[in-house]
Chain A
Amino acid sequence: MTFLQIAGLSKSYNNETTVLKDISFNVKAGEFVSIIGPSGAGKSTLLRCINRMVSISDGEVVFDHAPITKLKKRALRQLRTDIGMVFQHYNLVPRLTVIENVLHGRLGYKSTLQGVLGRFTEEEKEHAFFLLRKLGIEEHAYKRCDQLSGGQQQRVGIARALIQNPKLILCDEPIASLDPNASKIIMDHLKSITTELEITCLINLHQVEVAQQYSDRIIGLNQGEVVFDGPNYKLTEEKINHIYGTQMRELITV
């Protein structure tokens, strides 16, 4: 069953260079897909076209029957509540507490007044604590986020995405700023939780090994074009070199 459909997607920020060129692929519900490619390939841009954090220049993106390209402001807001996003730099409000940051994930469901007054239901708060427990950071709930380690902050970011009850999670290099230990914790959580809750997951990675270890399917991007799309066992050394260009590949593994 196709859940996310991308057809002929193109994107250029200015009219001179095209960042994404005629990208087409479908994602099935519940799939865990990694997008790999050298830096500047357009991975971040691709993710941001899906929740329209950047405008789409050409082509179609259909998410759960909704034509994303055509949505007006209010419908777009509503659609975004179904899509969680996790960032390389966590993108939390550092001065606020963990629990406040997690509850931010519910704002999309609130009217302006409810949200501004910070009216959250008991159920929402319980849900937040449930997620923090699941991610192993419940004891930090009332700490300010700037007092947490990178790995812990990323778990707050994941909790904020999960409390949206999303159908899809977009992760933009979630482990690029973390050490190997913290990276493993984050990847394990992402994998197990999205599997358990049947959430579709699209994740930008720059470590090929991590992509191969965790994902069902890998999409290789180079200079805005899909140069590989298949199950992870088909990603041979030769294909990897094709995605990164041989020299690049050496730089990355060193």
Chain B
Amino acid sequence: MSEKGMQKRKWQLTIALLIIIAITYLSAAITNFNFMDGFAAFPEAIGWMFSNLFITQESLERLPTILDKLIETIFMSIAATTTAAIVSIFLGIMGSKTTSVNSLLSVFARFIASVSRNIPVVAWALILLLSFGQNSLTGYLALFVGTVGFLTRVFIESIDEASPSAVEALTATGATYFHIVNKAVIPQSLPQMISWILFMIETNIRSSTLVGILTGTGIGYTFDMYYKSMNYNAVALVTFSIVLAVIIIELMSNYIRKVIM
């Protein structure tokens, strides 16, 4: 890069920084958020956490129930993700420029992707709560819908970048559409798709806690129950087991990623 270009970039950075500071200050002013008060509350909050959120012998007795709910939650997340993945593979193939068969279906796939992605999972849970009521189906559907949106979008991208040139080559040999999808598109983009599916399983386990609080299912409901009955030791145990589960799942999926890539 030239001397002049460097100078220009420095200036741009400085200006960007100033703008960010201005926006921060402005939003704090608008919301009446006082930085000093915010910081001052820290020691007290942390003190409260240490004196209330620890795991006791008594709360450990609840471990079997908690684990039960945790496993239920994990399986629901996996089920929601994998079923969503199946739908998304289809939508992804329809939506990608290299493999779409019909422009109407393509638009439809992209529409689904953008609509369900731009509505957060929590909002889906609340919307679905109205029509399906408070049960585990609602939780499942909320995760499912959000996941379909996200996976469809990333699958479209994976397919788009994976194999347009190979698709051209196979078309030139006289291969059929299904040959091309099965022998070029899927093999080339599958590892990346699996990686996204694993990512979504992790994400869904995290969000299913929140969704569970809203829909009254799984570990989220357990958390909510102990929280409302002020059994903070049990709350600590629940939180701890969720964190542990997420870490384990993450380690597992990182390992799988390494193997398949």
A residues touching B (Cβ–Cβ < 8 Å)? 51, 53, 77-81, 83-85, 87, 89-96, 100, 104-105, 107-110, 112, 115-116, 118, 157, 160-161, 164
Chain B 184-214, CB-CB to A under 8 Å as 1, else 0, gives: 1001100100000000000000000000000
Complex Cα distance, B184 from A115, in Å, reads: 12
Instruction: Check A96 against B179 for contact (C-beta < 8 Å).
Output: no
13 A-B pairs within 8 Å (CB atoms) are namely A53-B171, A53-B172, A77-B174, A79-B174, A84-B173, A87-B165, A91-B165, A91-B166, A107-B173, A107-B179, A112-B176, A115-B175, A160-B173
Main secondary structure of the interface of B (DSSP, over half): helix
Chain B 166-183, CB-CB to A under 8 Å as 1, else 0, gives: 101111111110110011
Residues in B neighbouring A115, C-beta threshold 8 A = 175-176, 178-179, 182-183
CB-nearest residue of chain B relative to A118? Answer: B183
Complex Cα distance, B178 from A110, in Å, reads: 11
Shortest CB–CB separation between residue B167 and chain A, in angstroms? Answer: 9
B residues touching A (Cβ–Cβ < 8 Å)? 163, 165-166, 168-176, 178-179, 182-184, 187-188, 191
Instruction: Check A107 against B187 for contact (C-beta < 8 Å).
Output: no
Instruction: Check B183 against A104 for contact (C-beta < 8 Å).
Output: yes
Residues in A neighbouring B169, C-beta threshold 8 A = 85, 87, 91-92, 104, 157, 160
Complex Cα distance, B168 from A166, in Å, reads: 17
Instruction: Check B168 against A81 for contact (C-beta < 8 Å).
Output: no
Shortest CB–CB separation between residue A119 and chain B, in angstroms? Answer: 12
Instruction: Check B173 against A108 for contact (C-beta < 8 Å).
Output: yes
- Residue of B165, B173, B178 with most partner-chain A CB within 10 A: B173
Instruction: Check B187 against A95 for contact (C-beta < 8 Å).
Output: yes
Instruction: Check B173 against A81 for contact (C-beta < 8 Å).
Output: yes
Instruction: Check A108 against B174 for contact (C-beta < 8 Å).
Output: yes
Shortest CB–CB separation between residue B192 and chain A, in angstroms? Answer: 10
Cβ contact of A104, chosen from B165, B173, B188, cutoff 8 A: B173
Cβ contact of A116, chosen from B166, B171, B179, cutoff 8 A: B179
A116 and B182 contact, Cβ closer than 8 Å, known pairs A93-B187, A95-B188, A160-B169: yes
Complex Cα distance, B139 from A154, in Å, reads: 52
Complex Cα distance, B163 from A115, in Å, reads: 18
A80 and B174 contact, Cβ closer than 8 Å, known pairs A91-B165, A92-B169, A95-B191: yes
Residues in A neighbouring B191, C-beta threshold 8 A = 95
Cβ contact of A78, chosen from B165, B170, B174, cutoff 8 A: B174
Residues in B neighbouring A109, C-beta threshold 8 A = 174
Instruction: Check A80 against B179 for contact (C-beta < 8 Å).
Output: no
Residues in A neighbouring B182, C-beta threshold 8 A = 115-116
Residues in A neighbouring B171, C-beta threshold 8 A = 53, 80
Listed from nearest, the 5 A-B pairs whose CB atoms lie closest are A108-B174, A80-B174, A91-B169, A107-B175, A91-B165
Cβ contact of B187, chosen from A51, A77, A96, cutoff 8 A: A96
